[in-house]
């Protein structure tokens, strides 16, 4: 196992170096004139919420468009700085150190262009946001253009979600939804869940909002209370997030919904569809038990559509919660 680690790390770093160099050369080869001539997407139906927002910002005020670009570039800088710190912490061998130097030079060269764009934005120079290819966004400020792309492709969706979260803190992002979107209820983003407990002949049962979790016995009831409270809190958090995404006209592909870890953070990334839309939620129990997630998703889907009709009963021992 140990003999494989240096080889794997060297291969990983080589890929990162190649990726960074390709990204830098691609970004620098795009002229502002070429970017300006690239057509906008014909329909927002095939776009993620991130790219849909960027497209709508073309007709927004220059100040709003500039703030979006500044937030995006700031997060991009953070992504590259974090990548460099992770690489330094992971590398041990001399050959890997050589790859790290090449990677660092590529990253520094690429990331060094970003503050220049931020300075131009602060000076009030015009900003353009243009979709390049199927999933990339180009930010052009005056005579500089750069591709908004995380150094690790598997972190791209998290980068875009972080940008949206920060931007939507200052602006009402629901204004960027299509006009023909069917209105959906929006629930409180943060709810403290306090489940009800009943004691039956079959054993104790906790319940909340149509969810009932049955425990076979009263042994270690304190542990059962903690598990049930944590589980219900996560489910309601996920349901609220799905309601919010639906209200923003984000298509949710329930059969494809997946919870993924988020690098160096307590939250998890929830992949919503094949367009690249994601949400962020702290759901460790659901992440650690895909079977449980599959069982509770029908309730979440029903609750998002009509909370009064959502109902489900689960057996605690099916998930290892009934053990004393």
Length of the chain equals: 324
pLDDT of residue 266: 77
For residues 271 and 94, give the distance between their C-alpha atoms in angstroms, rounded to a whole number: 38
CB atoms within 10 A of CB 180: 6
Structure tokens belonging to residue 173: 């992002």
pLDDT of residue 324: 57
pLDDT of residue 151: 78
The answer to whether 247 and 174 have CB atoms below 8 angstroms apart is yes
For residues 52 and 45, give the distance between their C-alpha atoms in angstroms, rounded to a whole number: 9
Strand order in the sheet with 268-271: 258-261, 268-271, 278-281
pLDDT of residue 42: 44
pTM of the model: 0.65
For residues 244 and 240, give the distance between their C-alpha atoms in angstroms, rounded to a whole number: 6
What does pLDDT average to in each consecutive run of 10 residues of the chain (324 residues)? 38 46 45 48 66 87 92 89 68 58 66 84 91 82 86 83 87 71 51 88 92 88 92 94 86 92 79 89 92 95 90 93 70
Q: Which is nearest to 210 in space by CA: 296, 321, 319, 318?
A: 296
Domain residue spans of the chain? 4-176, 196-319
pLDDT of residue 136: 82
């Amino acid at each position: 196992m140990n003999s494989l680690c240096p080889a794997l790390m060297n291969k990983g770093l080589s890929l990162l170096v190649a990726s960074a160099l390709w990204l830098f050369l691609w970004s620098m080869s795009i002229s502002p004139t070429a970017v300006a001539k690239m057509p906008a997407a014909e329909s927002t139906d095939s776009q993620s919420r991130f790219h849909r927002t960027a497209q709508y910002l073309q007709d927004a005020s220059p100040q709003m468009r500039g703030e979006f670009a500044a937030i995006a570039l700031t997060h991009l800088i953070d992504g590259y700085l974090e990548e460099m710190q992770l690489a330094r912490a992971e590398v041990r061998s001399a050959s890997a150190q050589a790859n790290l130097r090449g990677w660092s030079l590529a990253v520094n060269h690429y990331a060094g262009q970003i503050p220049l764009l931020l300075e131009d934005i602060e000076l009030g120079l015009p900003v353009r946001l243009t979709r390049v290819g199927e999933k990339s966004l180009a930010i052009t400020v005056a005579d500089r253009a750069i591709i908004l792309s995380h150094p690790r492709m598997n972190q791209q969706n998290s980068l875009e979600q972080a940008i949206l979260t920060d931007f939507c803190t200052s602006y009402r992002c629901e204004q960027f939804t299509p006009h023909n979107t069917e209105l959906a209820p929006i629930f409180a983003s943060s709810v403290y869940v306090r489940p009800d407990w009943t004691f039956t002949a079959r054993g104790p049962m906790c319940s909340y909002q149509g969810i009932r979790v049955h425990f076979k016995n009263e042994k270690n009831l304190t542990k059962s209370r903690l598990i049930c409270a944590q589980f219900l809190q996560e489910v309601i958090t996920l349901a609220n997030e799905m309601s919010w995404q639906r209200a923003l006209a984000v298509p949710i592909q329930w059969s494809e919904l997946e919870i993924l870890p988020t690098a160096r953070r307590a939250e998890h990334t929830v992949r919503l569809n094949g367009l690249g839309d994601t949400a962020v939620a702290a759901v460790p129990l659901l992440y650690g038990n895909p079977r449980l997630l599959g069982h509770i998703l029908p309730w979440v889907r029903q609750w998002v559509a009509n909370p009064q009709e959502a109902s489900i009963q689960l057996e605690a021992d099916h998930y290892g919660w009934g053990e004393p």
